[in-house]
Structure 1
Amino acid sequence: SSPEDEAVALAGLRMTRRIMKAKALARFLPEEWKPGPERQSDAELLDAARDLGTTIFHPVGTCKMGADPAAVVDDRLMVHGCKGLRVIDASIMPLITSGNTNAPTVMIAEKGAQFIIEDAG
């Protein structure tokens, strides 16, 4: 996993712990089950995140769009360094959306089709 993914996982686990300790939740007696209160270090929490994490079947970002060195495609969905090759799917999203990925993926497909038509003419 990337350092960015690890930072997000750690922040999410620690935020969840802070929320569970909130006075507003005290009457519900929240108890941490996983990863478990005994896991405190970054390494222990990252191990837990790897064990417990899942894609939820909405993978994105494996061919992200952008200009940075980790980006695979440009703003017209062309693969950097490959003439005539495009990626037109959810993998170009640099980060997952906050909702279902279907609508953004359809939009990516529509824009990709438009780019192909424009470049063919």
Structure 2
Amino acid sequence: MAKKNTAHAPLTPAVLHILLALSTGERHGYGIMKQVQADSEGTAKMGPGTLYGSIGRMMEAGLIRESDKRVDPEMDDERRIYYELTDGGRAALEAELRRYRGVLAAAEGHLAHGH
């Protein structure tokens, strides 16, 4: 089955936050939730259902994959599965950030001209 081309489709907020959390390195689920909370300054709440549902869809779409890394010294639990961005996931994140920059530039232009 061919992977869907999601590199240029708009991302849901949950997917965007997960990609951002993984953009700086491999993380396990709990680490992703903690990073999302830090990145959003506590405004984005992501529970396990949302997280793991999104992770499953993102793996099917080829945005992320399981990493070979297994043990976080702080957690010391080899059962934790780590995730990492694929090239497709990095491309999707970059496309989404370009989209946001374009929206922001348009909004700033409208505000500067009083529209």
TM-score w.r.t. the length of structure 2 is 0.27
Determine which structure has the larger helix proportion and give its number: 2
Higher strand share goes to which structure?
2
User: Of the two structures, which has the highest relative contact order with CA contacts closer than 8 Å and spacing of 6 or more?
Assistant: 2
Q: When the two structures are superposed, what TM-score results if normalisation uses the length of structure 1?
A: 0.26
